Chain A
C-alpha cells in the first residue's frame, strides 16, 4: 500500500497526460449515451444525410436518424470493446512477460515460440479468420483482439522486466526468500509502469484501428449495435454530398487515435 501512495506522488507528466486522456474517453463512453438527444434507432426526419440543425445536432444519417445520438453510442461500443480487449491482452501479456524472467528457461522457450507463431499471422487476417467461423459477436471480437495483441505486450514487458530482474534489489528479495508471485507483482511490476502504460496506449490505438477496419468491411460490430467504423460504412454514400454523417465519425476516429498517439509521442521525445 505504501508503495502505491509513493507511486502516485511520483507520476511523471507524460503518464499523467495519457491517463487523463484515456479516462476522458472512458467517461464519454460511459456517460455519452445518457446525453443522447434521441434513441439511436429512431427515425427523426424525412431528410436523409441532413445538415446540422437545432433538431439534429450533427445532421441525420442515411435513414434520417439522429447522427449525434448514434455517434455517442458508437463511441461507447468502440471504446468499450477496445478497452476490454486491450485490458485482457495486456494483463495476460504483462504477467507472462514478467513471469518468464523468473521461471525456468524452458518455459520461456515454449512460450516465446508460441508468441512468435502468433506474431507471424497479420492481425487483420487473424480477425477475418475468426469472424469467418465464429461470427461477429462482441465477445468473440474482444477475445480475438485480446489474443492478437497479447504477443506484442508479452515481448515489451519481457524486455522491460529483463532489465529490472538483474537489479540488486531483486537479488535481495530472492535472498529474503520471497515467492515468485511476490517478486513479479511487488518488486518488478511497480518499477516498469510508465513505459508499460505507453505500450498499453499504443495497443489500444491498434485495437481501435483494427475494430474500425473490421466494422468498415462489414465484418465487425453488427446492427443494431453501432461503432465508429460501422457508422462510416453505413453512411458511405453520403460521401458524394460531403454529409456530416460520414465526415464526423471519421473525424472522431482520427481524434481518438491521433490524439492518443500524439500524447504518447510527446512523452517519448
Chain B
C-alpha cells in the first residue's frame, strides 16, 4: 500500500520525524548542559586555587596549585580536556582527596539508584491508585482531601517533610534510626528500617506531584464526547474511568509519571543530606561546601543526563500516544 495522507504509514513517518526532532533537541540540550556546567564552575569570578588554600597561602603555593589544576591554560583548552575526559569516563581527580572522581561517584551512584528505584516502586502504584480514585469520585470527600493534601505537600520544602518524618518515626515512635547506615543491612527487616524514612519522604513528594498530574490527565480525557455517551448509557463512573477513559489516557499518564520522577531530583538532594544517606546528591552537597569542583562537575553532569533522559522519554511517550490517537 502506498502511504496516503492520514493512513497508518503516513502517521508513522510523522511520528518518526517528531521523535527524531525531539531527540535532536535533547542532544542540543546535552551540549548546552555540558558547556553551562563548565562555564559556571570555571569561568565565574573567584579563583579555585585561592579558595582552596585560604588567605594564608603563599603566592608560590597558589601558583603551584594553579599549574597542577591547569588554571594557567586558556579556558577553551581546559574545556576540551574536561569535556573529553567526561565523555570517555575519566572525570579527573578530587581536589580534596586526590582520588579519581569516578571511584568516589560510582558507589554513591549505585546507592542513589537504589533509593530512586525503591521510591519509584512504591510511589508509581500508589499515585496511580489515588489519581484514578480522585477522577472516579471527583468532587467527593476523598477527592477533596487528596487534592488539599497533595497541594500542601507540593508547596512545602522537602526538608519539612523529612524533619517531620524524623520527628514522628525516630524521635517519638523510636522504630527507626534517624540516620541511614547501608553497611548494616543483613536482613529484610533491616533493609526496611534503613530505607523507610528516606523512601517515605521522597514518596510523599513524588506521589503528591504524580497524583495532581494524573488527576488532571484523567479529567481531561473524561471531558471527551465518547465518555458523555458512556454516561448516557448509564455505566457506573468506576467502569467508565477504568475501561473507557484509562486506555486512552495511558500516554499522558506515563508522561506525567516520567515528569514527576524527573522532579524527584531536588528531593533526593535534601533527603540524602537530612538522613546522611551515602548517595550521590549527598556527595554533591558535601563537595559544594568543600568547593571540590571536579566532583561537583561530575555529579552535576550525571544528574543532568538522568534528568534529560527522563524528560525526553516523557515527551516521546507523549508524541507516540498523540499520534496513536490521530491514527485511530
Contact = CB atoms under 8 A, between A and B. Distances in A.
A261 B148 CA distance: 10
Interface in B261-298: 262-263, 265-266, 269-270, 273, 284-285, 287-289, 291, 293, 296
B291 A120 contact: no
Given A116-B25, A117-B29, A125-B303, A130 B151 contact: no
B289 A219 contact: yes
A165 B296 CA distance: 44
Contacts of B156: 209, 253-254, 257-258
B244 interface: no
B77 interface: no
A262 B285 contact: no
A267 interface: no
B45 interface: yes
Interface string B24-42: 0100110011001100111
A125 B44 contact: no
Interface string B159-201: 1100100110001000000000000000000000000000000
A122 B270 contact: no
A118 B304 CA distance: 11
B66 to A, nearest CB: 15
Nearest to A259: B155
A242 B164 CA distance: 11
Nearest to A265: B151
Interface residues of B, number: 48
A103 interface: no
B163 A236 contact: yes
B214 interface: no
Contacts of B42: 133
A128 B304 contact: no
Contact of A122 (B157, B163, B304): B304
B123 interface: no
B86 interface: no
A116 to B, nearest CB: 6
A134 interface: yes
Interface in B110-164: 151-152, 154-160, 163
A213 B163 CA distance: 12
Contact of B269 (A121, A128, A242, A253): A128
A2 interface: no
B225 interface: no
Contacts of A113: 25, 28, 32
Find the residue from A117, A121, A129, A265 having the highest chain B CB count within 10 A: A129
B222 to A, nearest CB: 16
A216 interface: yes
Secondary structure of the B side of the interface? Answer: helix
A34 interface: no
A122 B307 CA distance: 7
A138 to B, nearest CB: 16
Interface in A223-248: 229, 232, 236, 239-240, 242, 246
A32 interface: no
Interface in B55-105: none
A132 interface: yes
Interface residues of A, number: 45
A131 interface: yes
Contacts of B160: 232, 250, 253-254
A229 B29 contact: no
B308 interface: yes
Contacts of A116: 25, 28-29, 32
Interface string B305-328: 001100100000000000000000
Given A120-B311, A213-B158, A258-B152, A130 B303 contact: no
Contacts of A64: none
A132 B288 contact: yes
Interface in A187-221: 205, 209-210, 212-213, 216-219
Contact of A124 (B32, B46, B262, B269): B269
B300 interface: yes
A45 interface: no
B285 A128 contact: yes
12 contacts: A113-B32, A118-B36, A120-B29, A126-B40, A129-B296, A134-B46, A209-B157, A213-B269, A216-B159, A217-B273, A232-B159, A260-B155
Interface of A: 113-114, 116-118, 120-126, 128-135, 205, 209-210, 212-213, 216-219, 229, 232, 236, 239-240, 242, 246, 250, 253-254, 257-258, 260-262, 265
Q: Which 9 A-B pairs give the minimum distances between C-beta atoms? A: A117-B32, A120-B29, A261-B155, A124-B266, A257-B155, A132-B288, A133-B44, A212-B157, A216-B159
Given A118-B32, A134-B46, A219-B288, 16 more contacts: A116-B29, A117-B36, A120-B29, A122-B262, A123-B266, A128-B285, A128-B288, A129-B37, A134-B44, A213-B157, A218-B289, A229-B159, A239-B163, A254-B152, A254-B155, A257-B157
